[in-house]
Structure 1
Amino acid sequence: MGIFIPRRRVKHRRFDYEPRYYNPEKDESIKRRMRIKSRARHKRRSKMDMLYLLILLLFAMFIYNQLA
């Protein structure tokens, strides 16, 4: 009976290893660059999603007009 019970999505565990020769400035710059790349990839992806949605909408309107 518990088939349709919504569950929380499992998240990956964060792993933050501190090596023996740890340089906080270098680590912070690397993390900052990774965040910037991630945000840029997300923005690019959302623009592509809007483009696909627009193409799909235009295609649906074209078919609707052809059938009417």
Structure 2
Amino acid sequence: MIVPIGGKRPKHRQFNYQPRYYDPEKEERERRRRAIRIESKVRRGQGRSIAIYAAIMFILFLMLLYL
């Protein structure tokens, strides 16, 4: 019986190749969804910033009254 000197022999290499497919309809759909998400975040952010700005101005006004 012959025993290899270097130990176990290496296994064959395995590849995780997954082919990619281009779907123009899916790309367009994802682009529109991203645009809608960005637009809705901007709208929500503007509403919050106006409310925060108004609250800060009110607090400053009250501070001026009591000084």
Q: Which residue of 1 aligns with 2:59?
A: 59
Q: Which residue of 2 aligns with 1:24?
A: 24
User: How far is the alpha carbon of 1:21 from its aligned partner?
Assistant: 1.0
Identity %: 27
Q: Which residue of 2 aligns with 1:50?
A: 50
User: How far is the alpha carbon of 1:20 from its aligned partner?
Assistant: 4.0
CA RMSD of aligned residues (A): 1.2
Q: Deviations over 1:33-57 (max 9, x none)?
A: 1100000001101111111100000
Describe the SS at the equivalent of 2:21.
Answer: coil
Are positions 1:40 and 2:49 aligned together? no
- TM-score (norm. length: structure 1): 0.67
Moved over 3 A (4+): none
Q: Which residue of 1 aligns with 2:13?
A: none
Q: Deviations over 1:11-37 (max 9, x none)?
A: xxxxxxxx8410001110011011000
Counterpart amino acid of 2:65? N
Which structure carries more helix by proportion? Answer: 1
- TM-score (norm. length: structure 2): 0.68
In structure 2, stretches of 5+ residues that fail to align are 1-18
